[in-house]
A and B are shown apart, each in its own frame.
Chain A
Amino acid sequence: MKHDVKRDVTVTIDGKPVTVKEGATLLDACKSHGVDTPTLCWAENLTPVNACRVCVVELEGARVLAPACSRKAEAGMVVKTDSPRVRLSRKLVLELLGSSVDMSLSSAFADYSKRYAAEPARFGKKLAPSAAGVRESAHPGHHTVLDGTRAETVAQPTKVDNELFVRDYDKCMLCYKCVEACGTDAQNTFAIAVAGRGFDARIATEHEATLPDSACVFCGNCVGVCPTGALMFKVEHDLRKSGEWDEKKQTETDTICPYCGVGCVLTLRVQDNAIVRVTSPSDSTVTGGHLCVKGRFGFTFVEENRRADRGGSD
């Protein structure tokens, strides 16, 4: 086995010394010290992109705040995680997101918003959602100047182009997780990328091709990592739409995929004795939290109406 000898690094977090292994991030250090740091774009099974900036901390001697999720701990660093500067920036990040993106399905966002007393409504009432295709037609470096009385948002119609999952970019906070999962962090399919620039930046296939026409292989790993519900299994989307989605009635059970011999751990979310969502634990050594199309979506053969007994009564 490979043995990497790593040195200890001691930093000061909120006045207390914390020792971590070389290479650990400030987020790791905060965690080991019991400091709960908000994160939205970070995930343990993806490379940190430090794009959301909600995890920023104050580093003594640094001109600006540093993202805890990606900044490596260095010996002697003095870190403040709850200074007025930190609190203000975190609050603003939450307000900016809340004023432009539908974050209603992120419970983490709701918790953080409470903690930092975020008031997205400070930026005014939201502009009406744009029609299909309008956000996609924006040219980089150009935008339509409005009178500023309504807050611009990313609101737009949901993209439904297949029966497996939908893309509701109204809820996209541009955390890059889906792009990473589709790319080098897991699937290596590169069906989606960030396109456009600035506020018009968005997740897109080439020339907005539908997913079936794109390189997508429907592994659903993008859905698995999406923190806001922008990417959602069609089953869940439909249940939510019809008002039948009921988390109180749901259970989650870990089991093993019924397909090939790799042995991927599946977490089956079940409502009314039907599978409504399939994910994998991100700490699984087999999957790293990622699945293929069969494991993710190939469960319907156990549905009652397909069974040998066809559900007849005794």
Chain B
Amino acid sequence: MWGSNARETHPIFFHHVLKAVRNGAKLYVIDPRRTSTADWAHGWLSLEVGSDVSLANGVAHVILKEQLQHEQFIERATEGFDEFKAVIDRYDLARVSADTHVDGELIAQMARDYAKADRAMICWTLGITEHHNAVDNVLALINLSLLTGHVGRWGSGLNPLRGQNNVQGGGDMGALPHKLVGFQDVEDDEIRGRFEKAWGCKIPAKNGWHLTEMFEAMHRGDLTALFVLGENPAQSEADSTHALKCLEGLEHLIVQDIVMTKTAEMAHVVLPASASWCESEGTVTNSERRVQRVRRALKPPGKARDDIEILCDLAHRLGFDMQTGTPEGLWNELRTLSPMHAGMSYARLEALGGIQWPCPDEKSAGSPFLHGRLWENPVRGMKASFNAAEQVGPVDKLDADFPLRLTTGRRLESFNTGVQSGAFAWPQKRGETLDLSPDDAKKLKVADGERVRIVSRRGTVEAPVRFDDDLKPGLAFMTFHFPDDVDTNLLTIDATDPRSGTAEFKAAAIRVERIRQ
């Protein structure tokens, strides 16, 4: 588990992990904090925030040095090994230990266990992806799986754990600036042609902007009208001072949501929507690519309407007659355009309790894992590439003015900006805190529970201190579940990986000031 506190953020997934641990699987947790996930680990690697690439390269270094790599697999199914090896040669344990502050023997032990395992998996979450070099982080992990052949086989592989119930489905459905439904390229004329024919309209031939680019465009004044569906960017974006300024500068803001979020409060028009998971019919896709049915259990309140209805009505008013079909009818249309969904009728989704894509026809039971082709001889299609990554630290550097590393994350009972999770009566309710190691707190002469000022290069918030033995000195932790009380994202940096568009929520530099009474 790399950069993932699944015990709290993906609890039911972690039930499966624990079952494996009880069956003898070894669990390593790589996380700067001793999380409740790390408490279950055979080995906890408490790396420095943002040193993931170095650690992964160090693991590769050990594997190569001890000749534990899967030679045959590398030979047959991969390319770019030599260039990769040249980079890895520079990541000996002495260097990696210095970068990561993790004991070299522990790194070597994990490397051996990973390489020698019959089946092994790397799971990660935002600890990997909420960095300005997120893609490098991911590539560094992919390299490990290629090196050992732990990919494309049952029980092995790479498993990014999705944070929302349909973040996978959103991408599957083409809610990406460069993809149509089923991850098909917008800029591919033939593909686009098929969609245009089916839909009876023209589709812009160029990739769109992803979220970060959209904010940049707002900042420049190139983007003046924004339609937000079920998202709360006024509170969820890094460096929220900047985000709010962008949103305020819009000529027109439409928000379609089920509740009045901070973003909705700024909107010119709010379209009350039904809650898709319990007031609508449709599908979502989970982290393991399993398409599952959501169903209507409740009648939406008041004027709230189904998303499909709102969108079709809107299209109609914009002069395009988008026929309002049933959710199942729309799904069946999609199946004709997206080969990986072709075999998933509602009836089959129902009968099988969801199906994992790709599912090309109605005989297919779906695909519990991907990349099996890498084990075919000869390999069908492209070989998998090693992409060596180099260690670069976080953008927001520590210095005398900002000496503490703030990392952000989530708690079991809460969810993102608290729009959903803030409503129920969690019995152990506590609001936002600045979690500090007792050592740091002592140095700062602050008491447990004392309200302090937290300052970053971008903003200032106030929050009470909470002593946390699971943090090492120099490391501080906050969530962003309570933005109405403490807007943690005033502190975070919007340094963003240009390839993924994700900001570096995991690494800000801060200082803590006592508030004089």
Contacts and interface: CB of A to CB of B under 8 A. Distances in A.
Interface stretch (B294-302, B392-400, B440-448, B484-492): B294-302
Interface string A252-290: 011111111111110010100111000000011111101
Given A261-B10, A284-B353, A308-B257, A290 B15 contact: yes
A15 interface: no
Given A256-B165, A260-B164, A284-B353, 14 more contacts: A163-B427, A212-B427, A255-B294, A257-B277, A258-B277, A262-B10, A263-B292, A294-B413, A298-B415, A299-B278, A302-B275, A302-B279, A308-B259, A309-B272
A303 B425 CA distance: 13
B415 A261 contact: no
Contacts of A285: 353
A311 interface: yes
Contact of B163 (A163, A260, A270, A301): A260
A203 interface: no
B298 A275 contact: yes
B286 A302 contact: no
Contacts of A1: 154
B299 A263 contact: no
Of listed B168, B260, B353, B427, residue having the most chain A CB within 10 A: B427
B60 interface: no
Contacts of A298: 413, 415, 420-421, 423-424
Interface stretch (A108-116, A125-133, A183-191): A183-191
Contacts of B22: 184
Given A260-B163, A263-B286, A304-B302, A292 B12 contact: yes
Contacts of A300: 423-425
Given A270-B298, A311-B301, A295 B12 contact: yes
Contact of A163 (B270, B277, B425): B425
Given A294-B415, A313-B302, A262 B12 contact: yes
Contact of A263 (B11, B354, B413, B424): B354
What 10 A-B pairs come out closest when comparing CB atoms? A261-B162, A263-B286, A163-B425, A292-B11, A253-B297, A309-B272, A162-B427, A261-B287, A304-B301, A309-B302
B293 A255 contact: yes
A308 B304 contact: yes
A86 B273 CA distance: 58
Interface string A154-170: 00000001111000000
B133 to A, nearest CB: 23
Interface in B74-106: none
B303 A262 contact: no
Given A163-B427, A164-B425, A261-B287, A291 B295 contact: no
A7 interface: no
B143 interface: no
B255 to A, nearest CB: 8
Contacts of A162: 425, 427
Interface of B: 9-13, 15, 18, 22, 40, 154, 161-168, 257-260, 264, 270, 272-273, 275-279, 284-288, 290, 292-299, 301-304, 353-354, 412-413, 415, 419-428
Contact of A306 (B13, B259, B273, B294): B259
Of listed A187, A259, A265, A268, residue having the most chain B CB within 10 A: A259
Of listed B166, B278, B303, B428, residue having the most chain A CB within 10 A: B278
A209 to B, nearest CB: 12
Contact of B259 (A283, A294, A301, A314): A301
Contacts of B10: 260-262
Of listed A268, A275, A283, A307, residue having the most chain B CB within 10 A: A307
Interface in A129-155: none
Contacts of A187: 15
A42 interface: no
B286 A255 contact: no
15 contacts: A251-B297, A258-B165, A258-B275, A262-B12, A263-B165, A265-B292, A274-B298, A286-B354, A294-B415, A297-B426, A301-B424, A302-B279, A307-B301, A307-B304, A308-B304
B165 A259 contact: yes
A219 interface: yes
A259 B10 CA distance: 9
A84 interface: no
Given A162-B427, A261-B161, A262-B12, A308 B270 contact: yes
A286 B259 CA distance: 29
A310 interface: yes
A272 to B, nearest CB: 10
Nearest to B290: A263
A261 B164 contact: yes
A261 B11 CA distance: 11
A243 interface: no
A283 B354 CA distance: 13
A265 B278 contact: no
A254 B257 CA distance: 23
A270 B353 CA distance: 21
B265 to A, nearest CB: 10
A100 B163 CA distance: 47
Interface string A229-252: 000000000000000000000010
Contacts of B260: 308
Given A187-B15, A263-B354, A265-B353, A314 B303 contact: yes
Contact of B292 (A218, A256, A301): A256
Interface string A211-229: 1100001110000000000
A61 interface: no
B11 to A, nearest CB: 4
A211 B425 CA distance: 14
Given A260-B165, A300-B424, A307 B412 contact: no
A293 interface: yes
Nearest to A274: B298
Given A188-B18, A265-B292, A308-B270, A218 B278 contact: no
A301 B259 CA distance: 8
A312 interface: yes
Nearest to B421: A298
B91 to A, nearest CB: 32
B321 to A, nearest CB: 25
A226 to B, nearest CB: 18
Contacts of B165: 256-261, 263
A256 B293 CA distance: 7
B278 A258 contact: yes
Contact of A286 (B12, B258, B272, B304): B12
A265 B275 CA distance: 16
Contact of A301 (B302, B423, B425): B423
Contact of B297 (A255, A283, A306): A255
A218 B294 contact: no
Contacts of A257: 165, 277
A300 B422 CA distance: 9
A87 B287 CA distance: 49
Contacts of B422: 301
Contacts of A294: 412-413, 415, 420-421
B236 to A, nearest CB: 15
Of listed A288, A308, A311, residue having the most chain B CB within 10 A: A308
A299 B424 contact: yes
A5 to B, nearest CB: 17
Contact of B302 (A161, A259, A311): A311
